[in-house]
Structure 1
Amino acid sequence: MVSARPFQAVVRNPLYLQVAERIREAILSGGLAVGDALPPERELAEQFGVSRASIREALRALQAQGLVEGKGKGLVARAASGLLSEALTHVVRLRLASLEDLVELRCVVEAAALERAARRGAPGRLDAARQALEAMCRPDVTVEAFHEADVRFHIELVAASGNRAMHLVMLAMRDAMSRHLLEALRAAGPGVMRRLAEEHVALLDAVERGDAEGVSQRLREHIQGFYEGSVVAPAAAVGR
């Protein structure tokens, strides 16, 4: 039996939502690259044939979605990693997933990326990771400098996999977990930092030798060992 009303009424979106959708599509399709500055309000109003008030509303909507950032003439298209990191941070803070869950997710993604990097055999792609490792091994390295180099080391190893999606997810997890890592390093002391640096040496060596299975196992032990002992357990104790 055919319904007496098979169609829904057409929804007429406000002009600012139509403008926001077109700019959003330009960002997501790559027409506006990450970091590109958006045209001024007046120019956008002329291009879309709408008022500047509609443009301002559209830009506010896009900022709320995390697709543009900045103020006034400094509005630019935002990186997807920023959206992912905010989402992951909210997930943890709202307790929709635990920090332990995020650590496990990182292990899965990074282990797969390092296996891929080891199989690719691309020494030139590891130069940035090697530089970060050298910074970690300096005898006078501060906790903050070690933390920055540590994060950069892992990001560069994942980038060496050549998988852009893995790289973006890793960037997002870096931002979501960075505070926990830095606090744990401050509490751990120089001995732990030396051990972590030695483990990084072994990770880089395994990737360079093409030891895909070995680097995956080392990575899991490295990540889980540090977070279970220095981040997750203390955080759980504080929460009790």
Structure 2
Amino acid sequence: MTNPIRFQPVPRSAIYVHVADQIRDAILNRSLPSGERLPPERELAQQFGVSRATIREALRHLQAQGLLAPHGRTSPMQAASPDAAVDRFREALTHVVQLQNVPLPDLIELRVAIETAAMTRAAAAPVEAHLAEARAALEEMERPQISPVEFHEADVAFHVALVAASGNQALALVMLAVRDSIRLHLDEALRGRSFATIRPRVVEEHRGLLRAIERGNAKSAATLLRAHLSEFYGT
């Protein structure tokens, strides 16, 4: 052969990865339910046939992914709640958005896509408990003595609640994951602008969104949403 193919040696996977894979599978298939404690490190080391140092590395790996949580300073790890994994996903996405310098128009387009799909479902068959959360967030935004920081939090909570009102868990999870990126841009959008001036308009636009969904008018809600986001962020 004149040009023989040359292959590179295949690196051996770290042993802790295989340990972590088995524990991860047990968590994801519910064999190890949320809140259930793992056996002590010594017992795990015996079951896997590895050192306790390898077990500790695997547990740290899974904790960083939000799949395990400490039960106490000396107690074994336990399977984390689903919210912990969502938090890790949310944090990771926020970091990626910042590191990649994702432009604001792209984030607005993502928000419009998520919220329009959610509002279509919510207008047809809303989850009343989440509509109640949206109403509560709007009432908070209307509170006379609310601070700008509290207003920002209520604004984000309002939009998250409307998406959750769709009953679509996938849309709700994605909205939760992007909410910190939303908050970052909300802070930027409000910087240098008079809070007292923009607040009444923002509150009124939110009232319109909620009213459209309560009346089952998905088309109106989508139109109001796009206008609200485009005008507010200047895109």
TM norm structure 2? 0.79
Provide the rounded CA distance (Å) in 1 between the counterparts of 2:33 and 2:108. 31
**Is the CA contact 2:126–2:167 (under 8 Å) kept in the aligned structure 1?**
no
Task: Single out whichever of 159-168 and 49-58 deviates more from structure 2.
Answer: 49-58
Where does structure 1 lack aligned partners over 5 or more consecutive residues? Answer: 1-8, 230-240
Residue equivalent to 2:219: 213
1:54 aligns with 2:54: yes
* Partner residue in 1 for 2:161: 156
SS at match of 1:79: helix
**Distance across 2 between alignment mates of 1:33 and 1:172:** 23
| Superimposed CA distance per residue, residues 70-107 of structure 1 (whole angstroms, 9 cap, x where no aligned partner) | 69557653634324323432332222632321221111
Residue 49 of structure 1 and its aligned partner are, at CA, apart by 4.8
Determine which structure has greater relative contact order: mean sequence separation of CA pairs < 8 Å that are 6+ residues apart, divided by chain length.
1
Do 1:80 and 1:168's aligned partners in 2 also have CA atoms closer than 8 Å? no
State the match for 1:193 in structure 2: 199
1:27, 1:128 → 2: CA distance? 31
Compared CA separation, residues 228 and 66, structure 1 to 2 (3 A): farther
Corresponding residue number in structure 1 for 2:4: none
Partner residue in 2 for 1:179: 184
Instruction: Specify the code of the residue in structure 2 equivalent to 1:51.
Output: S
TM-score by length of 1: 0.78
**Does the C-alpha gap of structure 1 residues 69 and 175 become closer, same or farther in structure 2, counting only changes over 3 Å?**
farther
The residue that corresponds to 1:91 in the other structure is 96
Alignment CA distance shift 1:43-1:148 (3 Å): farther
1:142-185 C-alpha deviation (Å, 9 max, x unpaired):
11111111111111111110111100100011022322313433
Q: Is the 8 A contact 1:92 1:99 kept in 2?
A: no
Unaligned runs of 5+ in 2: 1-8
Structure 1 pair 201/64, CA: closer, same or farther in 2 (3 Å)? same
2:84 matched to 1:79?
yes
The secondary structure found in structure 2 opposite 1:16 is: helix
Q: 1:165 aligns with which of 164, 170, 188?
A: 170
Residue type at the aligned position of 2:201: R
1:60 is paired with a residue of what secondary structure?
helix
| 1:209 to partner: Cα distance | 0.4
SS at 2:234 equivalent: helix
1:67/1:101 CA distance change after superposition, 3 Å: farther
Alignment: residue pair count: 220
CA offsets, 1:54-73, max 9 Å, x none?
A: 11110222244454456955
State which drifts further: 138-147 or 91-100: 91-100
